[in-house]
Amino acid sequence: MEPEVIWSSDGGELVLLMSEPLLTVTRGRFATGQRPGGRHVHLEHIDMFYVLEGALTFEVGPDAERVVVEAGGSIAIQPGVAHVFLNDSGADATCLNIHAPDGGFAEFMRGMRDGVAVEWDHQPVP
């Protein structure tokens, strides 16, 4: 598949690189201060991040433990674990985000781009 730009604004960009039922991969660039989305839980898939450049801060688990992942590092959020991430590093950060299985993520991202609400494996923190 050809890469699809999902959004590009405010120094950030999200590109859908691969979309299959068992695996979806995006590349995101996030300007300092960006916090894409709120704290949430996935019930049926792993949400994994591999930081290519810069650093991202993740808030993970019931106590929102802060974990900084720098370039070359990764974090895999297991199903049922609350999480959110932000770029508070003072410089742009780029990462790959892998959803396995997809859990409806690719269609949700396309829907977000196209202004269409799409349900997927994304729940508020209980």
Write the CB contacts of 9 (distance below 8 Å, at least 6 apart in sequence).
none
Do the domain assignments include residue 126? no
> Tens digits of per-residue pLDDT, 23-38?
999 999 999 999 988 9
How far apart CA 60 and CA 10 sit, in angstroms, is: 25
> Tens digits of per-residue pLDDT, 63-98?
999 999 999 999 999 999 999 999 999 999 999 999
pLDDT of 16 higher than 90: yes
Residue 70 sits in a domain of what CATH number?
2.60.120.10
Domain range for residue 81?
4-120
Do the domain assignments include residue 35? yes
Do the domain assignments include residue 125? no
Please report the pLDDT score of residue 11 as a whole number.
87
Q: How many domains does the chain have?
A: 1
Token duo for residue 125: 């923190």
Partners of 74 in the beta sheet? 50
Q: How far is CA 98 from CA 58, 90, 92, 107, in A?
A: 15, 24, 20, 14
